[in-house]
Structure 1
């Protein structure tokens, strides 16, 4: 382990974090001077941390970033950013450090839930910071870091793939830094477009910015505790649906569209499976809501479609309190939490590509059982999937379910009912946010005891880092000197 290189890169990541922190500082200077000191103190703290890393770090020209150093940078970088992001909340309310950490982790992992009883508890500058943590977490903190860091060979691929996870993630152009910059450009452009459309829909400026940042990050932070219910606007819901779909599909598609490579877009099977899943789920939920007498057909279609897209994209917005929906509809939404969006998107969850590959691999094993001599390869569209990739996805799925079960048992120790515990962990690991029961869409996580909030934080981090990275850096032998990485 080249600890000096890791420290150097973490120092640069901390500097990049400080640059983002300048935005709420400027906002506080104009609109909230009373709390400007919070971000001034935070910046001093961030500068101190960056200095410490710089003292104990050293980077050399043409330094080769190996996989182990890359894992350390991703894992420690995310933990570092989440802890530093909690400082403004902690300075605002020193009495509850766990709530400060929860708010920061919820923002950066794009889970989009809060423990605050009212958003009036947050001054304007803190609300700006809250939106920014969401948006930067969506594109990926490490992705922004890749853009400003020097090219460092093979290990940078791990950084890139860690921020665009999934079984079918791909670069848009050959060079990693160029891919990261292109994805950021697309991300910013789509965010600005959504802000404009929301302003046309009559949404006030700050709320439009908040909704656009949250939607593009597939996060779900809303200006109101009851999410989009308070807007009472079909136009706003349509805009949200459109951009939730856009942000939950592979960003490489938009580069292909810009290049007018329509053949590649049409041949991309992942988004076909994803849109097909959402269509089937919408039909099932709509029929269930209507025939159960819960609401008229038009409302059943409107809220069913919105909620399926919201949960399927792991955004977590709500147009209606789905906790009161019939059991069948709630179970459909719970299953969608696990699946998530496409690889290479800002969405969470297992990812639709992995689920499809797992189903095809299971079918292949069934065929081999019936016909031992058959040769059957797993494909996504016309692309044949390497057996090594299939094996990796199988291991990931097993570990994901194992972690899910363990965390569900642990959070139930706080006295939460089993079904509600399942919903909370599923929502946190998939970065959806709202679930059922005590954390229904119109409630907050503030009602949870401290132990449950701590487990929720752990679930959010494990889900965002896709388990392997965080578990790897927690192993003592990871930090010992080895030559076989």
Structure 2
């Protein structure tokens, strides 16, 4: 492993992360907010850059898979620590709570430990939402898109950060792909912010919610989340942007080149839409028949929460913790499933669920036809046996880690169902759980040990486990390693 190259790339990413802090810094100056809370970590990132950056990256330097994994994992850990500092220096949160809020923002989980958002200055609210936006598409993807000298082999970093199995790229060069994805991301964010302003939100509030929506994060400027506004029209706007952000962003780039039919023909997105519609219908029936709610109100709340939790955004329009058990079970399944691969959503990803179902179907057929040979295809996309094995391994790791996190929290005194909900919600980066940490609650009441667990769970969930698990293998760091 070329440690100098890893160190130099990490230095550049930290410098970029520090430069971003200038935006909330200017807002603090304008609104007379906590200036030092943003200035000091920005200055610290500059000092780290000067300390770590020993030499320029050679134009011919190329990253190996190990180096790409190391840079990605260390970048997420370092930026998470850096972005905890503004919460701590402003006096808003303790160091541990600041870390929870930072990781929750960057991973797009949207769970908060702040009980009252109304006391926060506009600059800090903007910073919270901005962390969603940076982590939603990906710190590495944005870095590769904006910095042409990211070095050869940047694909290794992007792959270590990307979500869901895909067998193709919309553009041949990784920087062109990253720049195209970033352009789509910016356009969606601008469209969402414009729609919110046209609806009636102020500029900053609209931008904050646009960041949270397109990044499928869920931080709001209101304690009650979207329920604060009591508006069907706003909920429909939010649903639209949450759903399109749950699709593979690559298909939007492909659609720009080849036409809208690419989106219409995408099997994974079609299955996702059917999943949301089916869940909304089942929850509506449960609310009408079991909770005796009016049909129109049931459909409205069911559709919003199905879109919110399947996209793992975590916006709340109603206290779903008071719903019947069947409705909450459907919501839990949506949290686990998540959105599409290559989107900003978390969860297992719909493409993996499709492949798991096809594996199950193939096993049944092999039982009857032992010598048959099956090819794993989804739409026009063919997946190799290696990809299918990775999907099976990921499903096992996801379930195993969720069980481990739940066990750790139960050991810390959290009730069984609450711990289970927290484990799945944080591994899927969804945010709201059930019970004591449900729709209208925060994570502030978690014991310290459980807060450490949810930090790990959110990071493992966002980086899909393998990237972080790899750096804990001792041979990973040896010169004669993998």
Give the TM-score band, short-chain normalised. Answer: over 0.9
Deviation at 1:125, TM superposition (A): 1.7
- What's 2:174 paired with? 176
Which whole-Å CA distance do the structure 2 matches of 1:249 and 1:382 have between them? 17
Deviation at 1:163, TM superposition (A): 3.5
1:439–1:404 Cα change, 3 Å: same
Q: 8 Å contact 1:39–1:88 — kept in the other structure? A: yes
Q: 8 Å contact 1:139–1:163 — kept in the other structure? A: no
Q: 8 Å contact 2:57–2:151 — kept in the other structure? A: no
Q: 8 Å contact 1:340–1:351 — kept in the other structure? A: yes
Which of 86, 95, 100 is 1:102 aligned to?
Answer: 100
Q: 8 Å contact 1:139–1:217 — kept in the other structure? A: yes
Which whole-Å CA distance do the structure 1 matches of 2:93 and 2:229 have between them? 33
Does 1:389 find its partner at 2:351? no
Which of 354, 357, 362 is 1:356 aligned to?
Answer: 354
1:143–1:252 Cα change, 3 Å: same
Task: After superposing the two structures, state which structure 1 stretch, 377-386 or 160-169, moved more.
Answer: 160-169
- What's 2:237 paired with? 239
Q: Which string of whole-angstrom CA distances, capped at 9 and with x for unpartnered residues, describes residues 261-314 of structure 1? A: 344334321111111111111111111111113410001111101100100001
The two structures have a TM-score, normalised by structure 1, of 0.96
- What's 1:37 paired with? 36
Q: 8 Å contact 1:312–1:341 — kept in the other structure? A: yes
Which whole-Å CA distance do the structure 1 matches of 2:36 and 2:292 have between them? 50
- What's 1:49 paired with? 48
Matches within 5 A, 1:215-364: 215-364=213-362
Deviation at 1:150, TM superposition (A): 2.0
- What's 1:18 paired with? 18
- What's 2:450 paired with? 452
Deviation at 1:472, TM superposition (A): 0.7
Deviation at 1:417, TM superposition (A): 1.0
Q: Which string of whole-angstrom CA distances, capped at 9 and with x for unpartnered residues, describes residues 135-161 of structure 1? A: 1111111111112152533x3212222
Deviation at 1:440, TM superposition (A): 1.1
Which whole-Å CA distance do the structure 2 matches of 1:168 and 1:286 have between them? 34
The two structures have a TM-score, normalised by structure 2, of 0.97
- What's 1:89 paired with? 87
Q: 8 Å contact 1:227–1:441 — kept in the other structure? A: no
Q: 8 Å contact 1:4–1:59 — kept in the other structure? A: no
Deviation at 1:256, TM superposition (A): 2.7
Q: Which string of whole-angstrom CA distances, capped at 9 and with x for unpartnered residues, describes residues 336-393 of structure 1? A: 1111100111001110001110110111011111221222222201333211111111
Which whole-Å CA distance do the structure 2 matches of 1:185 and 1:51 have between them? 30
Q: What SS is found at the alignment partner of 1:228? A: helix
Q: 8 Å contact 1:250–1:342 — kept in the other structure? A: yes
Q: What SS is found at the alignment partner of 2:34? A: helix
Q: What SS is found at the alignment partner of 1:350? A: coil
Does 1:8 find its partner at 2:8? yes
Which whole-Å CA distance do the structure 1 matches of 2:236 and 2:93 have between them? 40
Task: After superposing the two structures, state which structure 1 stretch, 367-376 or 324-333, moved more.
Answer: 367-376
Which of 412, 431, 434 is 1:414 aligned to?
Answer: 412
Which whole-Å CA distance do the structure 2 matches of 1:262 and 1:322 have between them? 36
Which whole-Å CA distance do the structure 1 matches of 2:252 and 2:274 have between them? 19
1:334–1:44 Cα change, 3 Å: same
Task: After superposing the two structures, state which structure 1 stretch, 37-46 or 8-17, moved more.
Answer: 37-46
Q: What SS is found at the alignment partner of 1:404? A: helix
Q: 8 Å contact 1:321–1:442 — kept in the other structure? A: yes
Which whole-Å CA distance do the structure 1 matches of 2:67 and 2:384 have between them? 26
1:441–1:292 Cα change, 3 Å: same
Matches within 5 A, 1:140-219: 140-147=138-145, 148-150=147-149, 152-153=151-152, 155-168=153-166, 170-219=168-217
Matches within 5 A, 1:427-466: 427-466=425-464
Q: Figure out how many residues of one structure are paired with residues of the other and give that number.
A: 481
Which whole-Å CA distance do the structure 1 matches of 2:85 and 2:113 have between them? 16
Which whole-Å CA distance do the structure 2 matches of 1:330 and 1:370 have between them? 38
1:42–1:299 Cα change, 3 Å: same
Which whole-Å CA distance do the structure 2 matches of 1:176 and 1:75 have between them? 19
1:377–1:17 Cα change, 3 Å: same
Cα RMSD of the aligned pairs, angstroms, is 1.5
> Structure 1: which 5+ runs fail to align?
none
Deviation at 1:169, TM superposition (A): 6.3
